[in-house]
Amino acid sequence: MTSSSAVREGADAAPGGNGAVPRHVAIIMDGNGRWAARRGLPRAAGHRAGAEAVRATLRAAAEAGVRVLTLYAFSSENWRRSEEEVTDLKGLLAFYVEKELETLHREGVRLKLIGDPSPFGPQLMQRLERAVDRTKDNDRLTLVVALNYGSRSEIASAARELAEEAAAGKRDLASIDEQAIGKALETADLPELDLLIRTSGEVRLSNFLLWQAAYAELLFVDTLWPDFDAAAFNSALAQFASRQRRFGGR
Ligand code: FPP
């Protein structure tokens, strides 16, 4: 057993499985558009229902003892969507942050952002920063929201930062190793990613947490994101607990 699995606390061991509650779960929330289309509704209605699923999942994660929940809310490729849809998503996010802030705070949730939310404009940025600041001392669960996030760009920034330090004589080239890169990523302060879930039947990572997912368990479920709820999340946790994790060992 590696040290990283040895430190995991959680459920009783299932026969043949790791039996643990994942400390860090990430979700690619996919299928809002299809959920809406099946009901003859506009895409915005799918995103609104998706925000409800966020609420249910966050609660289930906190109750299960998950420490970090990372959600892919807007990828750097999502700008290719229509202006109307981007505006809807921004509005929904602003509404959610404003409406949920006190509940998140009361429930001991710390909000953290990864990616570059600045193109969303100063108003939304201000709200997000206020929420991050208000919740910064909470420690029950960290909710990481990836906004205008792309994993390759995150890794490229880390490489640039380390190269600049080396060029300035502040770092030996030999010190640029896996650990140094991990520390230069936006997720440096978070535990290792244990479980990555994608909804809606699509089977790809779409430039999300590529480095961090190196040893994560991957779970692809057919459920469309707005239909994802506490039962679906708990079923994902049960599947995680039933898997054996070898981290490259035997
Ligand atoms: C994917 O469905 C979903 C998104 C791009 C946006 C996710 C955003 C939310 C759930 C809104 C609220 C978020 C937070 C953090 C409060 P899709 O539109 O790609 O669906 P499709 O593939 O069926 O078209």
**What pLDDT, in 10s, does the model give residues 162-219?**
999 999 999 999 999 999 999 999 999 999 999 999 999 999 999 999 999 999 999 9
pLDDT of the residue at 64:
98
52 CA from centroid of ligand 1 (Å): 11
Say yes or no to pLDDT of 8 above 50: no
Residue whose CA lies nearest to ligand 1 atom number 7: 73
Residue whose CA lies nearest to ligand 1 atom number 6: 73
Residue 137 among the catalytic residues: no
Return mean pLDDT, the chain. 93
Identified catalytic residue from 12, 18, 30, 139: 30
30 CA from centroid of ligand 1 (Å): 6
Q: Is 69 exposed, middle or buried (0-12, 13-18, 19+ CB in 10 A)?
A: buried
* Confidence class for position 110, pLDDT limits 50, 70, 90: very high
Across the range 58-85, mean pLDDT stands at 96
Phi–psi pair at 195, nearest 5 degrees: -140, 130
5-14, 76-85, 221-230: segment of lowest average pLDDT: 5-14
224, 80, 69, 161: CA torsion to nearest 10: 160
